[in-house]
Amino acid sequence: MAILQCPNGHYYDDARSETCPYCQKLDIPADDPLREQVTSYVDYEEDDAAVTEGYFDNVGEDDRTIGIFTDELQNQLTAGWLVCMNGLVKGKSYPFFVGRNFAGRSPDMDIVLSDDDQIAREKHFSIVFDPVTVDFFLIPGNGSTLLNGNTVIHATELADGDEIKVGSTEYLFIPFCKKGRVWE
């Protein structure tokens, strides 16, 4: 009985195996350069072969691990819309969703208002829909926001038909969710 080292650097007991059991389980030809790369990072016991197989083509599609992102798991449930009443894109609507929705010119915003250079790039304002209380709120952010002609300085409750002015554009607030009509 002796502890031997294979050409790929694995140690094994020659009384238990004639050749390196680690290299055999990978099922990669000895002359393949991938074998040396993979074996240098994999350190496992004999019972762990199934875990290692997950990195190679001999595993069926259903046995592979895939990443799942939360945005794919949750539908974005429309809570309402902003409709442009005056400005360059008069008549265009902007949906917003359950939860907090940030508005700005950046494509990373929930509500992308890219047609008015006077609107802040990020977080000019936000609209929040609380599905528990079925209430909407307008929250000021990085830019000046008017609600029905009054400057918004703190979170303010919104009502159907409210007018929101940001930059040089005016929007009409239209809720989809109301008392008796909410997403479950």
Q: Residue 90 contacts by C-beta under 8 Å, 6 or more apart in sequence?
A: 84
Q: What is the reported pLDDT for 42?
A: 44
Binned at pLDDT 50, 70 and 90, residue 49 comes out as: very low
* Predicted local distance difference test score (pLDDT) of residue 57: 53
* pTM for the structure as a whole: 0.59
Q: To the nearest 10°, the Cα dihedral for 30, 35, 23, 38?
A: 170
Higher pLDDT, 128 or 51: 128
Residue limits of CATH 2.60.200.20 in the chain: 72-175
- The 10s digit of each residue's pLDDT in 71-81 is 443 458 899 99
Q: Supply the pLDDT for residue 40.
A: 46
| 72-175 to CATH, choices 2.60.40.420, 1.10.287.10, 2.60.200.20, 2.70.98.60 | 2.60.200.20
User: What confidence score (pLDDT) does residue 111 get?
Assistant: 95
Give me the helices (H) in the chain, please: 21-26, 33-41, 49-53, 70-73
Mean of the pLDDT values across residues 113-134?
93
